[in-house]
Chain A
């Protein structure tokens, strides 16, 4: 499979703008996101400061953007990207089913709210894992906690139940909980991961501590530095220069992921700059 010129991750105004500019510049584009484009945009009642679209509602803006993507024949790949790997001279983009390759990547995945739990970073790789399929086998016959954020976490918990001795499921966000009989659901929110050299337990908001051998944190929204290993951050945001370049050559970012102000017009403008920077980067590689 030949790598595409530009992969855009995210279909908010930043990602859509980047994809449009890239396509107009004659580049092959892979756009990952949703045909609803952006839940945040869909819910915006009135947007008052977008030039040329006075007092447009978010859903109207999304509809117009979607029409423009369709007219330019830019399809949206409705797949969740779980990781972007900076390889030598290209990027590998991992989704649940497939691996895609791109010469450049524009990250427009929006802002991830929320911080890691106390103990999460400290024990990562020492009892804390984000990947049940990768690391489940290290807990054969042992007790693990699953911190669930969506229905998808339930499937992962069921997978772990086939390997581990005991699986304790803690719903961290409200969602439909559908787990098999091998998973014990505890309706308490985990507030900290505890241990000494390795994680040995979780503490909940009720003050209860549960002793476990491993903790699987299964969020849907992945922080940028977990999504793209090696990317430089400034607080919760991706660090970029005025050309929207990140510290990784060929990787650009735009929109809310780069920081405040969280404005549609800023995101769209940055998306345009990011795409033009990607085009220049591609030209320099030839």
Chain B
């Protein structure tokens, strides 16, 4: 399951041992393609990492705080600190492997 972030409130994600943030926007083609792939990865990795989607238009402060300049952008947080990021679409095996590297 992927939780939707609203009002720039990332407090829940910051408490997690591993949080995966998906910065995206409704008008971004590659973001739309990535969304179902990330859903599958979140289902496959249930219990090992927490997943969040962040619409950059609705959460511009977070996008600026994390210096997001290209979307889709996946940021992995370990205990609230950025451990890795990846920009652009990735097929499921690659995306899942990328996240698993940082568990």
When the two chains form their complex, are residues B90 and A83 in contact, meaning their CB atoms are under 8 A apart? no
Instruction: Give Cα A86 to B33, complex, Å.
Output: 9
Instruction: Give Cα A248 to B88, complex, Å.
Output: 17
Cβ distance A246 to chain B, nearest Cβ, rounded Å? 11
A50 CB within 8 Å of chain B: no
When the two chains form their complex, are residues A92 and B91 in contact, meaning their CB atoms are under 8 A apart? no
Instruction: Give Cα A131 to B27, complex, Å.
Output: 12
Question: Which listed segment binds B: A58-66, A120-128, A163-171, A277-285?
Answer: A120-128
A134 CB contacts on chain B under 8 angstroms: 25, 28-30, 70-71
Number of interface residues of B (CB under 8 A): 27
Known: A88-B37, A230-B94. A138 touches B87 (CB 8 A): no
CB within 8 A of A129: which of B33, B69, B93? B69
A255 CB within 8 Å of chain B: no
When the two chains form their complex, are residues A88 and B36 in contact, meaning their CB atoms are under 8 A apart? yes
B14 CB within 8 Å of chain A: no
* Majority secondary structure of chain A interface residues (helix, strand, loop or mixed): mixed
CB within 8 A of B37: which of A83, A87, A138, A139? A87
B10 CB within 8 Å of chain A: no
B3 CB within 8 Å of chain A: no
When the two chains form their complex, are residues B70 and A88 in contact, meaning their CB atoms are under 8 A apart? no
Instruction: Give Cα A131 to B86, complex, Å.
Output: 16
When the two chains form their complex, are residues A198 and B67 in contact, meaning their CB atoms are under 8 A apart? yes
Q: What are the interface flags for A127-147 relative to B under an 8 Å C-beta threshold, 1 for contact and 0 otherwise? A: 111010111011100000000
B94 CB contacts on chain A under 8 angstroms: 229-230
Instruction: Give Cα A125 to B23, complex, Å.
Output: 12
Instruction: Give Cα A131 to B28, complex, Å.
Output: 10
A99 CB within 8 Å of chain B: yes
B59 CB contacts on chain A under 8 angstroms: none
Q: What are the interface flags for B66-103 relative to A under an 8 Å C-beta threshold, 1 for contact and 0 otherwise? A: 01111101000000000001111111111000000000
A-B contact list, 16 entries, CB within 8 Å? A85-B30, A87-B37, A92-B33, A94-B29, A124-B70, A125-B87, A128-B70, A129-B69, A134-B30, A134-B71, A135-B70, A229-B91, A229-B94, A230-B91, A230-B94, A248-B91
Give 5 A-B pairs besides A134-B30, A138-B70 with Cβ atoms closer than 8 angstroms. Answer: A92-B33, A134-B25, A134-B28, A229-B89, A230-B90
